[in-house]
Amino acid sequence: MANIKMYQDDAKHLFENVGGYENIISFKHCMTRMRFTLRDWSKVNEQEIKSQKYCTGINKVESSNQYQVIIGMGVADFYKAFCEVNDYESDGVSRKNIDFKTKQKEDIAQIKAKWRVKGWGNKALSFISNVFSPIVYPLLGYGLILTIWSLLTVEWSGPASSAADSVHFFKWVVDILDILVGTFSLFITVVVSYTVFRAMNANGVYGIIIGVILTSKGLVEMGAVDVESGESILGNYPGFDITGNGNYYPWLINFNGLLIPMIVVAIFGVYMERWTDKIKNQTAKQIVAPVLIILVTYLFALFIIAPIGMLFTNYLSISINWLSTNYIAKYIALPIIAALYGPLVITGMHHSITPIILQGQATYGATIIQGFITISNISQGIATIAFTVLHKRVKELKNVGVSNGVSAIVGGITEPSLFTVNLKHLFPLIACSIGTACGTLLLVASNTYALQGASSIFGILMYQMQAPELTGVTTWIGGGYVWGILSILLSCGVTFIMTLILGKTKYFWNRSKDLLQEDYNVDINTLKIEMKVKKPKQQKVVK
């Protein structure tokens, strides 16, 4: 502050001799100079400026209309003093010439700052936005492609009854889409690793390398493991036999689709890069740093993060299979598990459900789990569409919201909905969980079972008319198709209403206001007021 005061008289002198407010368009500083953009150079008292001690020279760049006064290494403090004594903002905007519109923007910014989430909460929101914002539109394309794929592959009336099975041209289209679908899933996982590195100001190339390694063909995806009745996932998963005694550890777990575990691994990789940056010898650093970042991060993922996910999957399998068959627990546990399925998709651990479904289907012939997955996926799309309806004044939101919602409903692909709307704004995800729990409760009560297959609106075709004999229960009158559809409708209705209710609460409204302002540069409160002003008042008719 003392340095700034030292320059105050000089800053006032320079201001007056370059022409003041009337002549200064804008100004900034570099390492040693004050750089002015002026209206008329003839109004500058150049000799007077040169005679002062603060000025060590003048440079004029006519091509860019810059009049540069050389101050020296103290130019940063000189600039601050110039702004302070001449009534300029720190960005060079004159307070004297601020019009009403600019003042209004400043007032709005102050109000936003008052209500904005602060501290770690703000940092977490910013981190999530930086990680997932770059993949919003690729996710949109991914969802639309999967929707087409789902329409062509769903079995309408039993085995080999899909459009791809019936028409050769559609089979050819599906073969092409199979490559795109598999590649997109891989892309999303790898690119998340990249965006984490970039969000934390690290080298994104390391993120790509780590992502590719952890999704390589040498590792096995959870959904590809066959679990027979009475066996555990741990006993069937391939791994490294380090000791040579037949004890496999760590397991060869592929991270494809495991987004949250991948984010954790990528964050660890960033800190590894920061640690290696402390190596002072540049030659050693160039050789050792890449090896340490990639190798240590890979081992961390393989020995720590992957096993944690595997143990979670194993005990989840045991728990769900017991809870699905217990006559009392299933009415409480299954709706809760169904409510948590959406958040499970966010972590990528929903892939661990596949072996559980296969095991339950092998044991009983069908499973309730597949039924509530269909309910959850459709409800995610409904929550996104409800959010779009709530904020229908944000025109830019309609394309993203409706497209991603339809992708979830028709294609069963919820990631676009989750990462662009539901998770980001939170309350649509909560509303979906409530709706899914309600729909699943009806599904469980009616003893409606389903086969593994489509998890979208076409999942209705997977519901079974009667519960498998081995379960010892009977589906309510009307059959599984009727009660499956009613469960979906109940969940969708509750989800839609709860999204509107929660979205209008003060906390979530203000939270969405900040996020929509950041994403689309619109203020929903301003739009709401403008809509009321534009709406013509109805004249009372006097009879």
What is the spatial distance between Cα 39 and Cα 438, in angstroms, rounded to a whole number?
68
Q: Of how many residues is the chain composed?
A: 543
The tokens 């309910």 sit on which residue? 375
Amino acid (1-letter code) at residue 327: Y
What is the spatial distance between Cα 481 and Cα 483, in angstroms, rounded to a whole number?
6
Distances (CA, A) of 444 to 21, 349, 356, 432: 75, 23, 17, 18
Task: Say if residues 62 and 53 touch (Cβ distance below 8 Å).
Answer: no
Q: Is 30 a catalytic residue?
A: yes
If DSSP codes are grouped into helix, strand and coil, which group holds residue 253? strand
Task: Say if residues 56 and 71 touch (Cβ distance below 8 Å).
Answer: yes
Torsion 323-428-509-501 (CA) sign? negative
The tokens 């309730």 sit on which residue? 368
CA 15 to chain centre: 48
Q: Please provide residue 196's backbone torsions phi and psi, each rounded to the nearest 5 degrees.
A: -65, -45
Which of 529, 518, 460, 511 lies closest to 489 in space, CA to CA?
Answer: 460
Q: Which are the contacts of 357, defined by CB distance < 8 A and separation ≥ 6?
A: 367, 369, 370, 452
What is the spatial distance between Cα 429 and Cα 436, in angstroms, rounded to a whole number?
10
Helix locations, 133-167, DSSP H = 136-153, 163-166
Task: Give the pair of three-digit tokens for residue 133.
Answer: 């914002």
Helix locations, 226-281, DSSP H = 233-236, 259-276
Which of 158, 166, 233 lies closest to 451 in space, CA to CA?
Answer: 158
243 HSE (CA, 13 A, CB side): 6
What is the spatial distance between Cα 370 and Cα 379, in angstroms, rounded to a whole number?
14
Please state the three-class secondary structure of 312-335 as a single string.
Answer: HHHHHHHHHHHHHHCCCHHHHHHH
Task: Give the pair of three-digit tokens for residue 449.
Answer: 């079972």
CA 348 to chain centre: 13
Task: Say if residues 422 and 380 touch (Cβ distance below 8 Å).
Answer: yes
List residues with catalytic annotation: 30
